[in-house]
Amino acid sequence: MELALSLGDTPKPFTFLDKTPKMSSKDVGFCMGLGSAFSGRSDEKREIREGEDRREVIRDEGERRLLSSDPPVQLDLLPFSPVPRSQPPTQLRFPWLADNLVPEPGPSDGTGKGLDVNRFPAVAIAAEEADDGTALSSPNSTVSSFQMDFCVRNGGRTKRDLELETERASDDDENGSTRKKLRLTKEQSAFLEESFKEHSTLNPKQKLALAKQLNLRPRQVEVWFQNRRARTKLKQTEVDCEYLKRCCETLTQENRKLQKELQELRALKTSQPFYMQLPATTLTMCPSCERVATTTTTTGSSGATAGNNNNSTTNKAALSLAKGRLYQVQQAHMHQAQPHQAAS
DNA sequence: TTCCTTCGATAGGTTACGTCA
DNA sequence: CGTGACGTAACCTATCGAAGG
């Protein structure tokens, strides 16, 4: 059953309906579809680039829609923006954009003091390209062929960041078995966030470039994106649930209102049975198919004539309106059971 | 100190794709 | 040429556990 509802707000699709195609109204008690901004993914697949996973491309399209700001879906789930848009992090550039490529600073530029110990030697990265870093358990190294471009130029490093770096540097001395939990610096997190806004998934090239630029292992970048996606999805689900809850409350309210109205109409009918036998011609719109239905009901009484005008016209008009409303309610009930039959 | 939240990391499962018999 | 088994890569999901408030 498909039920179109307009509750005054801009209709907002539920992304989880899109994400859980197996869900049925049987499963949830009721199921509302308020339009979907998503179209089939198959017709919008972009061309697959070299070295890019097909699923990645397809998902990328889907998730871009999920995260996009195109109306009518606007669920901003990226409230965290440590780097204001108005103040883009200088030196933070997306490595997969050709014009953004930062020349890799060499170790001899003299700016490599206090580097993050997550820094990974180029040799190791090259090895990790072959083996995704699983063989390399220690991210610490004293060898560096590059460094984070912004890490040293950004003068806004907090005390905590410096502490973190010091902590990590001290990890070098520790036994690898008791590895401290690694914490990304603000700059790293901010850059990853910005990257995530551009692409919620990474192809291998992007991953490597990002890892290289941030002095992280590709595996770390990968994990960060995985966690980020998972947590975004979680937040989206929470938002969807909240919205559903509100819809449910509104519907319950509306239902109560209609029930009350129905009761009043029934009371009216019993108190003034004569007028209820008037043939009623009402124009109602089917809530499902939005077709206008013209209905004339005759109760079989021949006493309903224009001659019975003892009462005021106001009363008649009010009664006609009331009957029309009653009919609408009945039609709506019928339609919930059998759409497209009541109006035809 | 304890509790709760955040977040990096891991394990296991799923899916899509390529290769080969 | 079509098909099933197998391996691989990337991802998702649940969960753990360290760190911090």
Q: What is the pLDDT of residues A76-93, one digit of tens each?
A: 333 333 333 333 333 445
Task: Say yes or no: A69 and A163 in one domain.
Answer: no
Q: Is A344 inside any structural domain? A: no
Q: Are residues A143 and A69 in the same domain?
A: no
Number of domains in chain A: 3
Query: In chain A, pLDDT over 90 holds for what percent of residues?
Result: 10
Q: Confidence band (pLDDT; 50, 70, 90) for A180?
A: low
Chain A 223-282 residues in 7 Å CB range of strand B: 223-224, 226-227, 231
**Per-residue pLDDT tens over the stretch A266-282:** 998 888 765 555 555 55
| A282 domain-assigned | yes
Residues A104-120: what's their mean pLDDT?
35
pLDDT on residue A241: 84
> Which of A125, A90, A122, A89 is closest to A106 using CA atoms?
A122
Which of A224, A252, A280 is the C-terminal boundary of a domain?
A252
CA nearest to A109, candidates A154, A150, A146, A162: A146
| Total residues found in chain A within this entry | 344
Domain ends where: A222, A252, A282? A252
A129 touches strand C (CB under 7 A): no
Q: Is the CB of A136 under 7 A from strand B?
A: no
Q: What is the mean pLDDT of chain A?
A: 54
**Of the residues A29, A53, A74, which one is the last residue of a structural domain?**
A74
Asked whether the predicted pLDDT for residue A289 surpasses 60, the reply is: no
- Check whether residue A183 has its CB closer than 7 Å to nucleic acid strand B: yes
Confidence of residue A256 (pLDDT cuts 50, 70, 90): very high
Q: For residue A205, what is the domain's CATH number?
A: 1.10.10.60
Which nucleotide is closest to the Cα of A179 by its C1'?
Answer: C18
- Looking at residue A175, its amino acid is N
Same-domain check for residues A144 and A234: yes
* Cβ contact A38:A99 at 8 Å: no
Q: Is residue A240 part of a domain?
A: yes
Protein-contacted positions of strand B (CB under 7 Å) = 7-11, 15-17
In a domain, A229, yes or no: yes
Instruction: Report the candidate in A34, A41, A43 with the shortest Cα–Cα distance to residue A16.
Output: A34
Do A61 and A190 belong together in one domain? no
Q: Distance, angstroms, CA A193 to C1' C7?
A: 34
Task: For residues A143 and A60, state if they share a domain.
Answer: no
Q: Which of A97, A293, A118, A328 is nearest to A215 (CA)?
A: A118
Segments forming the whole domain that contains residue A284: 272-337
pLDDT of residue A182: 79
Q: Which nucleotide lies nearest residue A202, CA to C1'?
A: C10
Q: How far is the CA of A321 from the C1' of B7 (A)?
A: 60
Q: Name the protein residue, with chain letter, whose CA is nearest the C1' of B10.
A: A223
CB-CB contact of A65 with A71 (8 Å): no
pLDDT in tens, A206-234: 898 899 889 888 989 999 999 999 989 88
| Residue A261 belongs to some domain of the structure | no
Q: Is pLDDT at A246 greater than 50 in this prediction?
A: yes
Domain annotation covers residue A263: no
In this structure, the answer to whether residues A108 and A168 fall within a common structural domain is: yes
In the predicted model, is pLDDT for residue A106 greater than 90? Answer: no
Distance (Å, whole) CA A339 – CA A2:
8
Q: Are A241 and A93 found together in one domain?
A: yes
CB-based burial, A251-273: b 16+ in 10 Å, e otherwise: eeeeeeeeeeeeeebeebeeeee
In a domain, A93, yes or no: yes
Structural domain contains residue A68: yes
Residues of chain A with pLDDT > 70, as a percent, come to 26
In terms of domains, do A109 and A242 share one?
A: yes
- Cα distance from N-terminal residue to C-terminal residue, chain A: 17
Residues A228 and A301 in one domain: no
What local confidence, expressed as pLDDT, does residue A304 receive?
Answer: 36
Measured at the alpha carbon of residue A119, what is the angle toward residues A154 and A225, in degrees to the nearest 5? 85
Whether A158 and A298 map to the same domain: the answer is no
Q: Do both A295 and A237 map to the same domain?
A: no
Q: How many CB atoms lie within 10 A of CB A247?
A: 18
Tell whether the model's pLDDT for residue A163 goes beyond 80: no
What is the CA A203 to C1' B20 distance in angstroms? 28
- Strand C and A202 CB separated by under 7 Å: yes
Q: Are residues A214 and A192 in the same domain?
A: yes
